[in-house]
């Protein structure tokens, strides 16, 4: 029989949160995949923040470690982590009420009542669903259905973090 997890064990560790946030949002820049906007304007110098070759190699090494850990867990858990950490311009009322769980709740809402459209348009569909959920939040706060989706998102998020942490290892330097 597995021991019941405490609330503290269900919370994501700060180092794991920072690691996943970096992986989904900033890794490419740290590996040297920079926007060409400043170069296009002819602006080079101290403000351009181009990583050194050594820093780019270290970032690529870190990226490969994290990617390997994500591939080692269940695809559904990895998808939950991506929904939670990938930055999006979520509607403010929804983000204010759900925080890190917003992307997971929106994905659950899309699965419960999918909007018509092509699979390639998933992000647009999710944003449309997020807008509808935000309107509901603004009108009446979190209703019973949204509350149930939030609880499911919390459970999925905790499970995904536990799976990732188990594969990563407690020390898990990247």
Q: Give tens-digit pLDDT for 79-121.
A: 999 999 999 999 998 999 999 999 999 999 888 766 565 555 6
- Close Cβ partners of 19 (under 8 Å, ≥ 6 residues apart): 66, 174
- Close Cβ partners of 127 (under 8 Å, ≥ 6 residues apart): 88, 89
CB 85 within 8 A of CB 74: no
Which long-range contacts link 162-168 to residues 24+ away (Cβ below 8 Å)?
A: 162/5, 162/9, 162/10, 163/73, 163/74, 163/77, 164/16, 164/20, 164/69, 164/70, 164/73, 164/77, 164/78, 164/81, 165/13, 165/16, 167/69, 167/72, 167/73, 168/16, 168/69
* Structure tokens that stand for 164 in this block: 């990732």
SS3 78: helix
State the average pLDDT over residues 48-71: 88
**What's the pLDDT score for residue 9?**
57
Q: Is the pLDDT of residue 139 over 70?
A: yes
CB 19 within 8 A of CB 3: no
Q: Is the pLDDT of residue 22 over 70?
A: yes
**What's the pLDDT score for residue 33?**
66
Considering the entire predicted model, what is its pTM? 0.72
**What's the pLDDT score for residue 54?**
87
CA distance 93 to 85: 18
CA distances from residue 39 to 33, 34, 118, 151, 164 in whole angstroms, order as listed? 13, 10, 36, 46, 38
| pLDDT class of 68 with cuts at 50, 70, 90 | very high
CA distance 149 to 170: 30
Select the more confidently predicted residue: 154 or 111.
154
The average confidence (pLDDT) of the chain is: 82
**Among the listed ranges 23-27, 38-42, 48-52, 104-108, which one has the minimum average pLDDT value?**
38-42
**What's the pLDDT score for residue 118?**
57
Of the chain, the percentage scoring pLDDT greater than 70 comes to 75
């Amino acid at each position: 029989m597995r021991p019941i997890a405490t609330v503290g064990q269900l919370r994501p560790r700060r180092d794991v949160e920072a690691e996943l946030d970096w992986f989904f949002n900033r890794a490419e820049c740290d590996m040297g995949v920079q926007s060409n906007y400043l170069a296009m304007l002819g602006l080079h110098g101290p403000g351009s923040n181009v990583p050194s070759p050594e820093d780019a190699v270290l970032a690529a090494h870190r990226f490969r470690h994290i990617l390997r850990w994500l591939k080692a867990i269940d695809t559904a858990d990895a998808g939950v982590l991506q929904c939670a950490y990938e930055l999006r311009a979520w509607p403010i009322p929804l983000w204010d009420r759900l925080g890190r769980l917003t992307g997971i709740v929106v994905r659950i809402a899309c699965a419960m009542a999918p909007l018509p459209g092509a699979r390639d348009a998933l992000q647009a569909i999710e944003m449309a669903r997020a807008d509808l959920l935000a309107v509901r939040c603004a009108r009446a706060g979190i209703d019973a259905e949204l509350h149930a989706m939030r609880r499911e998102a919390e459970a999925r998020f905790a499970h995904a973090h536990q799976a990732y942490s188990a594969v990563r290892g407690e020390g898990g330097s990247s």
